Structure 1
Amino acid sequence: MNRTEGSPELAEDSTVLVVDDAPASRYAIGAVLRRAGHQVVPVASAGEALIELDTLQRAGALPDVALVDIGLPDMSGYELCRRIKEVPLTAGMPVVHFSAKPAGPGDRTRGLDAGADAYFNVPAEPEEIQAVVRAAVRGARFRTTAEAEAGRLSLLSEAVLAVQAARCPQELATAAAAGAARISGGPAVAFVFGEDGELVVGSSRRRAPGALPDASAADEVVRLSERLMAGRSGVQSTVVPAPMWPAGYFRAGQAEAARLIVACGSATAPPVCVAVPAYEVGERNTGGSDGGRLLGRLVHATALAAEPLLMYEVERHIALTLQHSFLPKRLPEMPGADVVVRYVPASRHTEIGGDFYVSITTPEGILVGVGDVVGHSLDAATVMVEIRHALRAYCVDESDPGVLVARLDRMLQRYHPQSTATVCLALVDPATGRTRIANAGHIPPLIVGDGDARYCGASGPLLGIGLGHPEPTELKITAAERLLMVTDGLIETRGIDLGVSLAHLRQVAADAPADPGALCDTLLNCFGHERADDIALLALRLTD
């Protein structure tokens, strides 16, 4: 195309719709615009203009600007402008009014109020017409670019929020892949190191695990990422040719070149990487080089989110190991009683807690109990272990639950002044059924009979705050009854009153089988799915 001397480069490739009922004027304006390198679509009325715009819109070829005579025969140019601006697909197209009649401030005001961008009188110098068109096109393109940039930044913001909300490496990888796909406009895959160095793969498209490449392909991605980051920091990016990139990550069975973007949260952290097909970056909605820039920001955010997440995974593994090692699934034989315990850690995406149970044989009978250190962390699990050790040590010369609760309270105040805990202890004499119960801020135990269940009235303040504890509650249980003790993780649900949950627990326990193991399993089946807290249960039944 010919270029007008001194005109900006973005003006010559535009298309102009000229709406004018005067053939001579329409021809003259069209000739001026064609000489400047514009494509011209001439129409003679507002109705023709609306039809032409609809046709061009369906073809995906809307004009860049419309020049509209205000004195059209079928409707005014003001009304045509208003209709153009009412349609979302044409609302952003600039409209320039013109007229062969002298126009005053009122005419210009009506045009601007209708949505027009400029106004000129004809006849006009060719340079003026060309300059008005260039200005209108330039403004529209700047607005379009700004809107596109805002849209891309919105996509990045949403993707980063999803990454930061991830609760495990798999969620993190999936969120990163989904965000990269939205930014690039094509398929994406993300690689994050999980627990024990396991590589977690997240794909932007829902595909069966068998449809993804095997572990050897993932190992190759790791080698490529480590080679790219060797001796470097921050975000690195490269294009991996199709022969070097494992086939099938983007589309099943297809070998494609990949844009690989890698970042590390710190010098010691393993790399996190995201890959998209190489041709996707810079196309579609990525805005040229902005696509790669925004993907780099997303991968960097993913790397920053991965480091604390992996640290949490390690801490959770240590805490679970502690709990499992100090909470044996099977208890030693207790003469005169059948004691069954169950422990279920919180769902994988929640923090570890400090729930525990104990069952100790003493000269005065069997001491059983459950408790919960307040908080969810490795510290809580550690304090739980200390409480269990202290309780076993105290039982060497003391078995009264009231005395034991008081000693545990003092121990927490002295060695863990920032910690609190709840505990319920019961000393049961298997020969007589005499039972003494001391409760420090815990759910009271249930006495479960044949088709009936009732809560024991034992209560008291939690451990670690230094308040006095009441005398233990004394009662008798029979061979037909079970003593049931649980931690609040079994029934506590956000938004549901604890009293309602306690009543539900009592009803389910009353209808459960008599066997202590079956009783515990029934409660877990009813309440124990995807809980946000650990669960500990203990059931005791006297034997002949």
Structure 2
Amino acid sequence: MSVKGKAVNTVSTVLVVDDVPASRYALGAVLRRDGHRVLLAASGGEALIELDVRLRAGDLPDVALVDVGLPDMSGYELCRRMKQTPPIAALPVVHFSAAPRPPADRCRGLDAGGESYLAVPAEPEEIQAVVRAAARGGRCRSDAQIRVGRLAMLASAILDVQSARCLGELADAAATGTARLTGDPAAVFVLGEDGEIHRGLSRRRAASPVPDHAAHERVARLMRRVMSGRSGVRHTVVPAPLWPGGFFRPVGSAGPWCDGLLEEAGLVLSRLRDGRTLVCLATPVHQEGPSGETGHMVERLAHATALAAEPLLRYEEERHVALTLQRSFLPAQLPELPGTNVVVRYEPASSHAEIGGDFYAALPTPAGVLTGIGDVVGHSLDAATVMVEIRHALRAYCVEDPDPGVLALRLDQMLQHYHPGVTATMCLSLVDPVTGRTRIANAGHIPPLVVHDMGTAAYVDASGPLMGIGLGLERPKPTEVVLARTDRLLMVTDGLIETRGTDLAVSMEQLRVAAAGAPRGVAALCDTLLACFGREREDDIALLALRRTG
């Protein structure tokens, strides 16, 4: 439709607020001839009720044409109230009056938040043009607000992706961000150079069973085929026969996006020019398809995900090498320890944490069985390297003198001399398998726990300063206890029980209670404690349990 040669952009809904029935009818007729839908209200109160109803229905008008002289409140007051309600605030308001108004009154309408002022009676073309202009301005502001909101959503998704600590978290964050941008369920796949695939699903889907290994392999083959020898960002649509079901919604579930009803899946894939990681953001394809702006934002998220994936992949590879090296430093098999049964357990920290310096030792000596457990402070390859030096020094020193007090002093001096500034905790025990006489020296470590078969346990009163602290502090003499044949001596590193925000004394008491109630046997004791405390820990865990057999 056109008016005097000027095309009407779109059909708008106009709310006319006027207490004079004839005026309402006339304005409504003029606007309807221009192709608009018209809503009528006789007062400010009626207008607010109509707007509230429309807001709840998600169908707000595009323009409000408001008389300044309403019976219950002025048109300026109505405008102020509308602009104080965030969802309605973007609605353009055009004030009008059939009575002559001074310029100051017209300014009041603009100051109250109105977009324009119209003096009536006016030519129908002028009324129509003013309403069209107000509607265009409102649409521009609304589009800008939507665009800003979507850009903020994209920025938040990219921040979540960049904050991921491992490839699994990265895939989950990217899937959640993709789902928010598109409004559809999403699945994200990160494929490393070694062929390992990491999958993330949007939150509304994550709690349901997921496809099996074969389905993931099909996705990996599709990703390689689409990006074979290519880099950058690419789009493709995969028909349903080639796309495994169950990633977007559980197979057999009800709803418009069930995999059984989908014909195809849309993929956005990204790989950096020199990158080794391939990223795929997958969403269901429906009839309307994503808008160009949404597709562009998903592209940017895919590129950001590929950027974030590269260092995480390198870190996981380096961590795997470091963990392999660290495990090689620790004895895979304990030596023969006459008269005792010794069991050790070692668990590295969860996959996103750095390697640490936890270590254990069990050595036969002429004076008995020497056991030790400790932790070099810090999480790095350097900490693991210092741990190795301490273990080798312990093996060398105990040949000359296995007394725990002497060993703690010599190891402390070695650490201060060769690694100034590095500190470590350590607990050493020398057990005579025949008599049960046990000498214990502690250097800032959790003291050993003696677990009795009758369901009780108690910590040995053994303490001392950290090794490497270098303050000239004297080391107390070793503590002596006698282990019965039914007693078990338990030594652990703090990674087993230390929890951020929980006092260590509380955690130690929880450990004591759990150890007292554990099944008999050294292996059962260690396995029970790992099951109780050892899940998703931020630090490495080492345990050593000993029992006399001689």
**Coarse TM-score class (shorter-chain normalised):** 0.7 to 0.9
Distance, in Å, in 2 between the alignment partners of 1:261 and 1:336 is: 64
TM-score between both structures, scaled by the size of structure 2: 0.84
- Of 436, 447, 462 in structure 2, the residue corresponding to residue 457 of structure 1 is 462
Q: Structure 1 27/166 Cα, relative in aligned 2: closer, same or farther at 3 Å?
A: same
> Is 1:43–2:43 an aligned residue pair?
no
Q: Which moved more, 1:249-258 or 1:84-93?
A: 84-93
> Cα distance, 1:532 vs. partner?
2.4
Distance, in Å, in 2 between the alignment partners of 1:110 and 1:321 is: 76
Calculate percent identity across the aligned residue pairs: 61
- Of 515, 538, 546 in structure 2, the residue corresponding to residue 532 of structure 1 is 538
- Of 130, 133, 155 in structure 2, the residue corresponding to residue 132 of structure 1 is 130
Asked if 1 retains the 8 angstrom alpha-carbon contact of 2:424 and 2:466, the reply is no
> Cα distance, 1:189 vs. partner?
1.3
> Is 1:270–2:277 an aligned residue pair?
yes
**Aligned letter for 2:317?**
V
> Cα distance, 1:68 vs. partner?
2.1
Is the partner of 1:206 in helix, strand or coil? helix
> Is 1:484–2:487 an aligned residue pair?
no
Structure 2 stretches lacking a partner, 5+ long: 249-257
> Cα distance, 1:434 vs. partner?
3.9
Q: Structure 1 41/513 Cα, relative in aligned 2: closer, same or farther at 3 Å?
A: closer
Deviation readout 1:303-344 (Å, 9 max, x if unpaired): 222223223332333344344444457534422223232323
**Aligned letter for 1:151?**
G
Is the partner of 2:175 in helix, strand or coil? helix
Superposed, 1:294-443 pairs within 5 Å as: 294-328=297-331, 331-413=334-416, 416-417=419-420, 419-443=422-446
> Cα distance, 1:126 vs. partner?
4.6
Q: Structure 1 421/40 Cα, relative in aligned 2: closer, same or farther at 3 Å?
A: same
Q: Which moved more, 1:50-59 or 1:457-466?
A: 50-59
Deviation readout 1:341-389 (Å, 9 max, x if unpaired): 2323333443332212110012232111001122223443343334323
> Cα distance, 1:488 vs. partner?
1.2
> Is 1:541–2:544 an aligned residue pair?
no
> Cα distance, 1:525 vs. partner?
4.5
* Number of residues of Structure 1 aligned to a counterpart in Structure 2: 536
Superposed, 1:175-190 pairs within 5 Å as: 175-190=173-188
What root-mean-square deviation, in Å, do the aligned CA atoms of Structure 1 and Structure 2 show? 3.6
**Aligned letter for 1:159?**
A
Asked if 2 retains the 8 angstrom alpha-carbon contact of 1:435 and 1:476, the reply is yes
Asked if 2 retains the 8 angstrom alpha-carbon contact of 1:441 and 1:463, the reply is no
Q: Structure 1 398/208 Cα, relative in aligned 2: closer, same or farther at 3 Å?
A: same
Asked if 2 retains the 8 angstrom alpha-carbon contact of 1:372 and 1:421, the reply is yes
Q: Which moved more, 1:368-377 or 1:51-60?
A: 51-60
> Is 1:2–2:2 an aligned residue pair?
yes
Is the partner of 1:342 in helix, strand or coil? strand
> Cα distance, 1:435 vs. partner?
3.4
Distance, in Å, in 2 between the alignment partners of 1:491 and 1:56 is: 57
> Cα distance, 1:183 vs. partner?
0.5
Question: Could you tell me which residue of structure 1 aligns to residue 252 of structure 2?
Answer: none
> Cα distance, 1:56 vs. partner?
5.7
> Cα distance, 1:459 vs. partner?
1.1
> Cα distance, 1:134 vs. partner?
3.1
Asked if 2 retains the 8 angstrom alpha-carbon contact of 1:368 and 1:426, the reply is yes
> Is 1:161–2:156 an aligned residue pair?
no
> Cα distance, 1:102 vs. partner?
0.9
> Is 1:289–2:292 an aligned residue pair?
yes
Is the partner of 1:143 in helix, strand or coil? helix
> Cα distance, 1:25 vs. partner?
4.4
Is the partner of 2:205 in helix, strand or coil? coil
Asked if 1 retains the 8 angstrom alpha-carbon contact of 2:279 and 2:305, the reply is yes
Distance, in Å, in 2 between the alignment partners of 1:338 and 1:527 is: 23
Q: Structure 1 494/534 Cα, relative in aligned 2: closer, same or farther at 3 Å?
A: same
> Cα distance, 1:277 vs. partner?
2.7
Distance, in Å, in 2 between the alignment partners of 1:527 and 1:226 is: 41
> Is 1:206–2:205 an aligned residue pair?
yes
Distance, in Å, in 1 between the alignment partners of 2:71 and 2:545 is: 92
Question: Could you tell me which residue of structure 2 aligns to residue 148 of structure 1?
Answer: 146
Structure 1 stretches lacking a partner, 5+ long: none
Distance, in Å, in 1 between the alignment partners of 2:390 and 2:466 is: 17
Deviation readout 1:430-460 (Å, 9 max, x if unpaired): 3444433333322232345564524233413
Is the partner of 2:2 in helix, strand or coil? coil
- Of 495, 501, 510 in structure 2, the residue corresponding to residue 495 of structure 1 is 501
> Cα distance, 1:59 vs. partner?
6.3
Q: Structure 1 452/112 Cα, relative in aligned 2: closer, same or farther at 3 Å?
A: same
Distance, in Å, in 2 between the alignment partners of 1:216 and 1:524 is: 33
Asked if 2 retains the 8 angstrom alpha-carbon contact of 1:410 and 1:464, the reply is no
Deviation readout 1:404-432 (Å, 9 max, x if unpaired): 33443454456555643222222233344
